[in-house]
Structure 1
Amino acid sequence: MTYYVLIKKPDYSQKDAYTALDKFNFILNAFPNSKYEIDIITKIQIIDNNLAINKLSTAKFYLEKKNINGALIYLKDIYENHSSSLSIDETLYLLVNIYKSIKEDEIAKNYAAILAYNFPKSKWYEKSYNIINELEIETDDESWFEKFNPIRLIKNDNEEENIEIQIIE
């Protein structure tokens, strides 16, 4: 439990996370059907997700540096070892993107099919669909504040309601 408490954010070293994962797996195997089993499984899932996020950020770093091989190592590791994590859909999208960029269309389509089957309503599925079908990706450069700026919304409402009131005498 001490190692679990020592786990840092995914941006930092995950040495304690690996140690905590080993300890929890040992406890789970040594004492099956204990009253703490659900708690241990939950903690293992949290640690697994934390490790996947850490590896995903490392893969993104390698992609920014144009090191596709380094990124593929981390992304495949996430796909194979952390498939139940919350970042698996983004991982599959990045795999589709990389394989499409290196002209491995069949492998890219396989990962896109997995993404489509498991996450049909995900934004990452839409992006991978656009990549596979070579469609233009529409970017929304407008920030959230510009979209929901109350002053602009009121101003637009007033312009739409530009109705002149005439007084009848």
Structure 2
Amino acid sequence: MKKSVRLISAVAISAMFILGCSSKDDKEIVPDKAPVLLYDDAQQALQAGNYEKAAEVLEALDARYPFGPHSEQVQLDLIYAYYKNDQGAQALANIDRFLRLSPTHKDIDYVYYMRGLTNMSLDGTFFHGLIGIDRSDRNPAYYQQAFADFTRLLNRFPNSAYAPDARARMVGIKDRLAKYEIAIAEWYIKREAYVSAINRGKYVLEHFPNTKSSERALELMLEGYTQLNLEAPKQTTLQVMKQNFPTNSWVR
């Protein structure tokens, strides 16, 4: 019995020690200053590109002074710091919190824009592209959400300063989504599921007509029609190919 009491006491003391150290470490990381001075520290960190430190200071500022003079700007800066520091989950949590609590804020277009950027960063295929790995077969759920975010931005704020960049990014997102559909169509071709491959090709042409994947979509459709001996739709598809991609091997 005495042994159990000693064990419980030891655990309690250890927990108190850990909590004490944690509190001390927090104070050492972010000194106890007036909110204006802390905000200045955060701004200096942001300007210096030290996004980890900026996030730490902004988190402390938000926790210690949630109703301070810079409370909404702190949230906006924290979203940006999280995004730049590759903390996408935290950025999205703060974005959704801001949209819920301040839906009429003057910078709400920026928040939608950052939501799109953050979802794009969470997709992961951009990094793969930089090192030469094609992961177009990866589920594009984050890119689909980013597309929805940018669409919402353009619908609500067509004249926003962030609208031009959002439109440009949507072009790239469409290409990414089209490549995903192509990857699935190619998978169907390998497994001789030609009808499914043809339908995926049609989907690309219908929803992503001006992307780089259009030519490949037509090729896969032609392959499917050939394997199924469907001459009439094959000839129609060949005409579309000839009009849009006259040098393709299917029309030579």
Using the size of structure 1 for normalisation, the TM-score is 0.69
Instruction: Provide the residue aligned with 2:123 in structure 1.
Output: 7
- Work out whether 1:59 is the aligned partner of 2:185: yes
Percent identical residues: 22
Q: Which contiguous aligned blocks of 4+ residues in structure 1 show a shift greater than 4 angstroms? A: none
What are the superposed Cα offsets for residues 76-102 of structure 1, whole Å, 9 maximum, x if unpaired? Answer: 111111111111101111112211221
Distance 1:94 1:54 in 2: 14
Listed as ranges, the matches of 1:6-155 within 5 Å are 6-9=122-125, 10-121=136-247, 125-126=248-249, 128-129=250-251
Higher helix share: 2
* Residue identity in the other structure for 1:7: D
- Which secondary structure state, in structure 2, belongs to the residue aligned with residue 116 of structure 1? helix
Contact 2:194 2:228 in 1 (8 A): no
The answer as to whether partners of 2:178 and 2:204 remain within 8 angstroms in 1 is yes
Q: What is the alpha-carbon distance in structure 2 between the residues aligned to residue 33 and residue 119 of structure 1?
A: 36
Give the C-alpha shift of residue 11 in structure 1.
2.4
Shift of 1:67: 1.2
Which residues of structure 1 form unaligned runs of 5+?
131-169
Task: Give yes or no for contact 1:55–1:78 (8 Å, CA) kept in 2.
Answer: yes
- The SS at the match of 1:84 is coil
Q: Contact 1:92–1:111 at 8 Å: present in 2 too?
A: yes
CA shift for structure 1 position 7: 2.0
Contact 2:197–2:220 (CA<8 Å) still a contact in 1? no
- Counterpart AA for 1:3: N
Q: For residue 70 of structure 1, what is the amino acid of its counterpart?
A: S
Unaligned residue ranges in structure 2 (runs of 5+): 1-116, 126-135
What amino acid does structure 2 have at the position aligned with 1:115? M
Question: Any idea what the Cα deviations from partners look like across 1:142-165, whole Å, max 9, x if unmatched?
Answer: xxxxxxxxxxxxxxxxxxxxxxxx
1:19-40 deviation per Cα after TM superposition (whole angstroms, max 9, x unaligned): 1111111111111133322211
Larger relative contact order, structure 1 or 2 (CA cutoff 8 Å, min sep 6): 1
SS in 2 for 1:69: helix
**How many residues are treated as equivalent by the alignment?**
126
State the SS of the aligned residue for 1:6. Answer: helix
CA contact (8 A) 1:3 1:19 kept: yes
8 Å CA contact 1:8–1:14 kept in 2: the answer is no
Paired residue secondary structure (1:103): coil
Cα distance between partner residues in 1 of 2:242 and 2:216: 12
User: Quick one: distance in 1 between partners of 2:142 and 2:177?
Assistant: 11
Q: Larger C-alpha radius of gyration, 1 or 2? A: 2
Contact 2:147–2:173 (8 Å) recurs in 1: yes
Equivalent-residue separation in structure 2 for 1:96 and 1:70 (angstroms): 13
Deviations 1:124-149 (A, max 9, x none): x22x125xxxxxxxxxxxxxxxxxxx
Q: Distance in 1 between matches of 2:218 and 2:149?
A: 29
